[in-house]
Amino acid sequence: MKFIADGMLGRVARWLRLMGYDTLYMNTPHKTEIIRMARKEKRLILTKDRKLYEENPEITFYIEGKDTETQLKEIKNKLNLEINEEKIFSICSICNVPLVRKEKEEVKHLVPEYVYNNKEEFSQCPRCGRVYWEGDHCKHIREVIEKL
Ligand SMILES: [Zn+2]
């Protein structure tokens, strides 16, 4: 399942990516662009825009919740979204691009020394170059996801 999150759902987009779901974030007033992209790439539009939903119910999921956690719960429960442990942290939360596994040596110059010394597994975003590793913030993210 692939998504497009529209203007008001930037945080939802980042969380879905953290869970491993391919999610475009389209912050544009031109709804026709969003609809065209959804049809072309077979994506479900997540929106808080009731008009957009009512005019395109077959490709749109209307979100009622106000805060990010409620919105994510809504998506997960109503769409029966599976949360797969192996998919968590598999795509870049900024670029929505699959991460590539890297050998420790390859990222030596890109990460802080203490991280290099203490971590064994690294991956990198081929687009923005960000290097990811399992750090303390990941624990927090996993806890939030597990709560869902
Ligand atoms: Zn990236």
Which residue type sits at 3?
F
Cβ atoms 18, 83 nearer than 8 A: no
CA dist 28 and 21 (Å) reads 21
Ligand 1 mean position to 132 CA, how many Å?
10
Ligand 1 mean position to 67 CA, how many Å?
25
Question: Which tokens go with 115?
Answer: 């991280």
Nearest by Cα to 43 from 65, 21, 64? 21
Ligand 1 mean position to 147 CA, how many Å?
26
Cβ atoms 135, 112 nearer than 8 A: no
Ligand 1 mean position to 15 CA, how many Å?
14
CA dist 139 and 42 (Å) reads 32
Q: Can you list the residues of the chain whose pLDDT is less than 50? A: none
Ligand 1 mean position to 137 CA, how many Å?
17
